[in-house]
Structure formats: C-alpha cells, structure tokens
Chain A
Amino acid sequence: MEFNYNDRVLKPGYTSCMGCGEALAMRLVLQACGKNVIFTNATGCSEIFTSRYPTSSWNAPWLHSLFENSAAIASGVYYALKHKGLLGKVSVVATGGDGGTADIGLQCLSGAAERGDDFLYVCWDNEAYMNTGVQRSGLTPFNADTTTSPAGKVSFGNDRCKKDMPQIMAAHGIPYVGIGSCGYYRELGGLVKRAMAIRGPKYLQVHSVCPLGWKSDPAKTIDMAKLAFETCLYPLYEIINGVTKARRAPKDGWKPAEEYLKPQGRFRHLFRAAEGASQIIRIQAVAAANMRKFWPEVAVPQFALDAEAKVAEMDKVTA
C-alpha cells in the first residue's frame, strides 16, 4: 500500500510523543477539514509538535495565535474573508488545547459563538496543560494527579469535575456541538463533515489521550480512549440545531470506572490510599449520571446504581 503524503493536511515528521492521541486526532480532523482552510492554532502541544523549527507539518494556511485568542483571530480571518467575498470558498478552523479553550481562551470563544461567526472551533482535550508540564486545567477530570493538583496526604488530586464545555457551548445556541474521541478515530471525519456543512459557529471537542500526562501505556492509547467512553466517563454525542444525539452505547453494556482509571498513573493514588475506594465510587457516580443523561433508554448497570446509593449515603446531612 502506498501513501501519498502530498495530500495530507498534516504531513508526517511532527514531533509528538509516542502514543500521542492528539496527533492522531489532529491528522484525521484536519484531513476532513481539507486544505482550503485557514487554520488558527493557540499555543500548546499541537502548535509545538507540528512546527518544530525549521520545519512545519502544516500543508495548509496556518496562523499561530497567543494562548487565549485562537477564536478571536479566527473571527478576524472570517471577517476578512467575508470582505473579500471568499466565504463559502475558504473555510476557517480554529484549534486549541483544553487550557487554551476552557480556561484562558473561553472569553474569545464565547464572543465568537455569541456573534455567530462562521467557523469551526476544535478543542484537543488531553485534560491538562501538557505542553508546559502537566498542570491542571478546567478540563482535568476529578481526582487526577497533576503537577499543580498533586495527590498526597491531604489531597486526591484535582478536587473538581471537568468543566462541561460542550454544554457551555451549546448554551450559546450555536448550530453544532460535537464530541469525538481519538479512540473512535474513524468517526472523526464524519463529525467534521457534519459540522462543516453547517453555517455559523461550530464546536468540536476531541478526547485526546496523553500517555505522558496520564502516565498511561503509549501502546494502549486507543484502548484508553475507548475505555473513557465505555465507562461513560467521557460521553460522546452531538448537538445539531439543538437536538442531542448520543453515540450508540457499547454493545456489551457500560463498564465499571475502575477499568479506565486503573491503567493510568494519574489515578494510581486512588488504588493505593485507604480512602481511595470512596473516591472511585464518586467517580463511578459521575459516570452513572452521564449514562442517565445521554442514554436514558439504556439500563444503568447495578455497579453504577450501587455507587450512586453509596455517594448519597456518604453525603447525607446528619442531623
């Protein structure tokens, strides 16, 4: 089989880490976007590993931004294209990591969505500031150990749940919100194509496994991403024109949260500390809520119901 790399939007030779889920997701998402696109890219892993001096992997127009303003630069490009009469011929796609999207870049992204600017925003969600050394972000999951939410004697790591970015974006009333995963890489192209067919602001969030930051086996990147969905800790769905459509639930039913947590070093402390078990139950309860919210027709498994009951017991206000 011969590969024609000339047609690749993201050419090979980039310097991502071994087993990088973000690189895989990027390659496929960008390919589906096509070459006749002006990409903007916030600072982060995706920018660094694709533009190693003196080379670039970008086989398409690419504009680097500061950390916080990928969306605003995309808006500016969109207005200029509009003025030139190029709308419909050239598309605009903004990208950024989870920190650049959900934390520092949220204001610019919200502004663009509110104004109705016509571009796709893609968030590579590897669940922490990986490029600067694994600091927590607003999309770091509950109880993950990072360099600024260290697990130890007095802490189980990140003490808050992920910010619900897809719902925040949906609340702007934009016509497309999608959540994909590097584990279901064949589906990424479809998400992009459905998004790009719609005029207006579009938001796509792609769960991207980071073996370095998650301390997971680089050979198991796809498995890890699939487990995130199969345990319902990372629900995959689309909201098109206000209608939510979840990805089909796993054939063999939802899996227990431990299966996803255990292979990752960032959750290792939960399996070591004596009190870790109750924290895993809390995580399982989060998954249970996701199951009920997005797959109301699928029965919630007994282990998830048990976890919910235990959490209710733990949090009961005693008189």
Chain B
Amino acid sequence: MAQASTEEKILITGNVAAAEGAVRAGCRFYFGYPITPQNDLPEYMSARMPAVGGTFVQAESELAAMALLHGAAAAGGRAMTSSSSPGVSLKQEALSYLAGSELPALIVNVQRAGPGLGDVRCGQADYFQATRGGGHGDYRLLVLAPHTVQETFDLAYEAFDLAEKWRCPVMILSDQQLGQMMEPVVPAPMSTLPAVRDLPWALSGAEGGRPKRIVKSFYWRPGELEEFNKRLREKYIKMERELPRWEEDRAADAEIVLVAYGTSARIARDAVGLAREAGIRAGLVRPITLWPFPAAPLVAAAKRGARFLVVEMSWGQMIDDVKLSLYGTPRPVDLCWRAGGGVPDVAEVFEQVRRLAGK
C-alpha cells in the first residue's frame, strides 16, 4: 500500500480514486471520452489536470484518446485514459500498438454489462478482453483488479511504476459499482516526478547528439518480428513468475474456496462469512492481478483437497483461468454467475456454497 500522508482522508468514488491515484503518481496527461459509468473520472480530470499543471484532453473518440496516450507515452509522459466496456473495445487496435511498442501507460476500464450496447449496470464480462490482450497479436496487459475505493487509489498510484518497470501497458479492471461507490480513502502524497522525463526510450527531438531511440512495433527484416515476439514472450513469462498478487481470506483451512475479484469479491467475502457461521469451512482467494493470474494459492488449496466456486458477473470467463491453474491438480470447479447487469446477492452465493458443502 502507498504511504499515507499525515491525517489526510478523502471521501471519493472509485472513479475519482483511480484519477487521483494516477495524478499523485505523477500522471500529467489524461485523454478521455464520455461514456457511462466512468464519466466522473474525466470530469474530475478536466479540473484536476489544469490545477497540477497537466494536460486534459477530451478527445473526439475513444480511438483518438488511446492514440493520444500512445503519443504522450512515447514522449516520456505518465499518461492515462479511462473508459467503459464498449469504449475499451474501440481502443483495442491502439492498445495492441502500445503493447507492441512496449510503452508504459494506464488504462482504466469501468466495466458495464454487455455484449453490444449492453447496459450501464454492473458487469465483469471484459475479463477475456483484458487478460488475453484484447487486440490483435500476441501480447498481454498487466491487469489489476481492485475491490475497494482505497485499493483503486493504491493500484492507480502504483500502476505507472509497474508499467515503466515492465514497459507494458497496465489496465485497472474496475466495474460500475466499484467505480461509482464512495468510500473513504487515505491517499498517498503527491509525487515529485517531473511531468515528462527523459526515459531511455522517450522521444525528445533530433538535437542533442544522444544515441538514436526507436519506438515501434514493426520489424520487417526476415525473422526480426519472430525474434521480437520471442523477447516479448520471455518478458511475459518473467512477469508471470514475479507479479501474481492475491489476497486470501479464511482460505487456509477451507474445503470450499471461492474465487472472485472486484465487486464480486466483496459479495463472496460476505458469503464466506455466512458459510462460516453455518459451520462450513469456506474461504476466499481474491486475485489482485488478473494477468498474470495467481495460480499458486489455488494449487495449494487443491492439494489440500479443496473444491472451488468461482463468483463472477459473466457467464464464465475467469473460471477458465481457475481451471487452467488446476491443470496438474484437478479438483471440482463450479460457477456462481450473474450477467447482463445482474449482481449476485450474498444469499444466492451462500446458497450455492451450502449446496456444494452438502448441508
């Protein structure tokens, strides 16, 4: 968690927390476009960015916002964009280009229900899009999944350090409820980083006599692109080893392990509480990184003989990662899902836990 400044505590929405977390981490470029349910994020940034000497642009489209991000990141700025599901779909081509150019940047997706126009109500059906890259080509994003407003702030605060360390775009995968709810946040202090830094890849003009820097995602000499893909793959394998992060709650002795992220994790946690009261040994594993997916706690639980219940607002996306994680130690994996704007309530999750426990 980010270090707290003295006695500062603010009541903000998850969307504003993502914005303020990024600002305090030194983000000075925000590019966005209106789409519900993330509008309070660009609205906040339209006043906040000028106040900290940054740049706010409401682009003419999601595509333009993403390409603005590409440009600012290439020039060494800490830049972010935000959107919600259909808007994030529009950003995918440019997002692939950023990943292929190994540029650091922050993208916030406040998920709503789909597919198509869908609905502005809560959803988690962009999991595949977020964790499999989303656009064309072989690439991954580092995907962070907060479940509280404080955690949204903290992960946004940390996102740029991770993005720059791994030269990989970072996505915060939020959702409508998490984005629009208000909770108190103890914010980290303002970064003292300059708005634009002379990072080793950053474009800074043709004068100055420094060695040439190249930001690109095309490699046209025979075999060169394949070599580049090999290098990317090695990077992603390294990230898979080093980055998985998760939180466990009463999982150590659990016979039924719930797996959930974001808003679903808050609901699953309450269901675990009800189950424990009913004498059922239930627990929760909450992935914080969705890619790389934290397989270790699931494998450990499987080895203890636990079975799994995935809770998500989609008719089954994260469950695939749970099953893949258990490839070598197969155990039953069930799904408790709501989709199309439906949010599971604690009672229905608990009911399914109770059935699985045979009680």
Contact = CB atoms under 8 A, between A and B. Distances in A.
B39 A150 contact: no
A147 interface: yes
A104 interface: yes
A133 B39 contact: yes
B117 A150 contact: no
Interface residues of A, number: 23
A308 interface: no
Listed from nearest, the 10 A-B pairs whose CB atoms lie closest are A104-B61, A103-B60, A132-B34, A135-B34, A148-B46, A147-B43, A129-B34, A148-B58, A133-B39, A150-B47
Given A68-B61, A148-B56, 14 more contacts: A64-B117, A66-B117, A67-B86, A104-B60, A132-B35, A135-B43, A135-B58, A136-B58, A147-B43, A148-B43, A149-B46, A150-B43, A152-B47, A154-B50
A287 interface: no
B36 interface: yes
Interface string A121-163: 0000000010111011010000000011110101100000000
A103 B59 CA distance: 8
Contacts of B117: 43, 64, 66
Interface string B34-54: 111001001100110010000
Interface string B102-121: 00000000000000010000
A133 B43 contact: yes
Interface of B: 32-36, 39, 42-43, 46-47, 50, 56, 58, 60-62, 86, 90, 117
Contacts of A103: 60-61
Contacts of B34: 99, 129, 132-133, 135, 148
A106 interface: yes
B58 to A, nearest CB: 5
Nearest to A150: B47
Given A99-B34, A135-B34, A66 B86 contact: yes
The secondary structure that dominates the A interface is loop
A147 B39 contact: yes
Interface string A49-70: 0000000000000001011100
B39 A132 contact: yes
A159 B331 CA distance: 60
Contacts of A43: 117
A287 to B, nearest CB: 25
A133 B60 CA distance: 16
A149 B43 CA distance: 8
Nearest to A102: B60
Nearest to A136: B58
A135 B61 contact: no
A66 B56 CA distance: 25
Nearest to B33: A104
Interface of A: 43, 64, 66-68, 99, 103-104, 106, 129, 131-133, 135-136, 138, 147-150, 152, 154-155
17 contacts: A64-B117, A66-B86, A67-B35, A99-B34, A104-B60, A104-B61, A104-B62, A131-B36, A132-B35, A133-B34, A133-B36, A147-B39, A147-B43, A148-B34, A149-B58, A150-B46, A155-B50
Given A147-B46, A148-B42, A149-B46, A132 B36 contact: yes
Nearest to A140: B58
Nearest to A149: B46
Contacts of B50: 154-155
Contacts of A150: 43, 46-47
A99 B50 CA distance: 24
Contacts of A152: 47
A129 B117 CA distance: 17
A133 B36 CA distance: 9
A155 B117 CA distance: 35
A114 to B, nearest CB: 18
A143 to B, nearest CB: 15
A298 B58 CA distance: 38
A100 to B, nearest CB: 10
B248 to A, nearest CB: 39
Contacts of B46: 147-150
A171 B265 CA distance: 54
A132 B120 CA distance: 10
A67 B87 CA distance: 9
Contacts of B36: 131-133
A23 B86 CA distance: 26
Given A43-B117, A99-B34, A129-B34, A135 B60 contact: no
A67 B90 CA distance: 11
A200 to B, nearest CB: 26
Question: Which of B34, B42, B61 has the most CB atoms of chain A within a 10 A radius of its CB?
Answer: B34
B35 A138 contact: no
B42 A135 contact: yes
Nearest to A106: B60
Contacts of A132: 34-36, 39
Nearest to B57: A148
A44 to B, nearest CB: 10
Contact of A135 (B39, B47, B62, B90): B39
A23 to B, nearest CB: 20
Contacts of A155: 50
A259 B115 CA distance: 46
A156 to B, nearest CB: 13
Nearest to B87: A67
A211 B233 CA distance: 55
A138 B42 contact: no
Nearest to A135: B34
A125 to B, nearest CB: 16
A43 B61 CA distance: 14
A99 B34 CA distance: 9
